[in-house]
Amino acid sequence: MSTQLSGDSPQLKIANELRRGYEEKDLSVLVKHLHKDFRRFTYPKSIGQPERNKEEWLKHVAGVMDFATALEVGYTSYLLLSLLAKYVSRRRPLIPS
């Protein structure tokens, strides 16, 4: 479990609540803080993540949470593994075929 951010500002309270939602794999915590017109962009574009609306992003996060649960890793670890896999798969072979 990650460390909770200290402070009592509204922003820190939301950040801590969202972190708890990720750790507990509770989408209801995430949903209540998303705007109805929520859009998710991932940069740099070269990593190949599509733009997602609220429903698409929540479906993606649910899949990530299921996958992370199966591997017993956290969301952040999954993202790092995913990015590494994309990088490795795009590298050119050392010896031309």
User: 41-91, pLDDT tens digit by residue?
Assistant: 988 888 888 999 999 988 888 887 776 665 565 555 555 666 666 555 455
Torsions phi, psi of 70, nearest 5?
-60, -35
Helix (H, G, I), strand (E, B) or coil at 53: strand
Q: Which domain holds residue 46?
A: 10-90
* Total tally of structural domains belonging to the chain: 1
pTM: 0.56
Task: Evaluate whether residue 96 is within a structural domain.
Answer: no
Quick: pLDDT tens for 8-24.
Answer: 888 888 888 888 887 78
In this prediction, residue 1 carries a pLDDT of: 53
Quick: pLDDT tens for 26-36.
Answer: 888 888 888 88
Task: Evaluate whether residue 1 is within a structural domain.
Answer: no
CA 57, distance to chain mean position in Å, is: 9
